[in-house]
Amino acid sequence: MRFNTLKIFTIAAFGLTMSLPLQAQTKDTKKDQIQDTKNDKDKSIKDQVEQSQKAATVFTEIMNTPDKGIPQDLLGKAKCVAVFPNVLKAGFVVGGRGGRGVASCRNASGWSAPAYFNLGGGSFGLQIGVQATDFVLLFMNDKGMDSLLSDKFSVGGDASAAAGPVGRQAGASTDVKLNAEILSYSRSKGLFAGLELQGAVISPDKDDIREVYGSDATARNILSGSVKTPASVKAFPDTLAKYSTATKLSSK
């Protein structure tokens, strides 16, 4: 009887000893899986993080030259700002994706998280000969902002647009342009100027939005401020806040 008891105890002890490394291995495996998932997530949004940073860089460079940049009074009245860095000529010629960018809108808590958009189509005059151009769009009133919140719209078609004035005091003498829902600008080879971006089609990049914010997110709820800004993509709204007070404007 004692022998049997000792035998059972020995077998149980051996089994417990063998299970401990297995349990530790299982925990390590789970940790590795969690870390791998995080790494995959970080890699999947790397492109979106870069888009926010590129837009922030373009806007910073423009605003750091106030005598040749966006008038401060106009920026202060804009309800939303969109920046499309490095838009390629080929996208307009062959009808493919011309460029990608981000937009942010004012809300009660500040500038919203960046929503991702595609830009394509349109007539750009002499700009069509440029290989890569940065575009900046100011959405000046509720109707302009509503167009940005829609599923797709054309600049100058669904929303009225005008070439934005340039320079420190330029906004004061351009009352007619204040009636436009969108003021548009371009920068190429260092030259920043207003541009009539007639016919350009802008639509939310749903894949990018889903990558960053999840499957339920839309451009509308992101720009309305109901979605928290992930730290990884704060570059663009933080830059807008640096150059313009992020206070929600009254309706016009």
Pairwise CA distance, residues 63 & 100, whole Å: 21
Q: At what angle do helices 46-63 and 235-243 cross, to 10 degrees?
A: 20
pLDDT > 90: percent of the chain: 42
151-160 pLDDT per residue, tens: 888 888 888 8
Taking Cα atoms as reference points, which of 191, 195, 130 lies closest to residue 161? 195
* pLDDT computed for residue 86 by the predictor: 87
pLDDT exceeds cutoff 90 at 101: yes
Q: What share of the chain is helix, strand, coil (3-state, %, to 5)?
A: 50, 20, 30
57 exposure class (CB count in 10 Å sphere: 0-12, 13-18, 19+): middle
- Which among 165, 178, 209, 202 is positioned nearest to 68, based on CA atoms? 165
- Going by pLDDT thresholds of 50, 70 and 90, the confidence category of residue 239 is very high
**Is it the case that residue 127 has pLDDT exceeding 90?**
no
Phi-psi group of 103: left, alpha or beta (phi > 0 → left; psi -120 to 50 → alpha; rest → beta): beta
- 8 Å CB contact between 169 and 71: yes
**Amino acid at position 195, single letter:** L
Q: What are the structure tokens assigned to 154, written together?
A: 């054309």
More confident residue, 104 or 87: 104
Predicted structure pTM score = 0.76
How many residues comprise the chain? 252
- Where are the strands (E) in 14-159, listed by range? 80-88, 99-107, 110-111, 115-120, 132-139, 153-154
Residue 175 in this model has a pLDDT that exceeds 60:
no
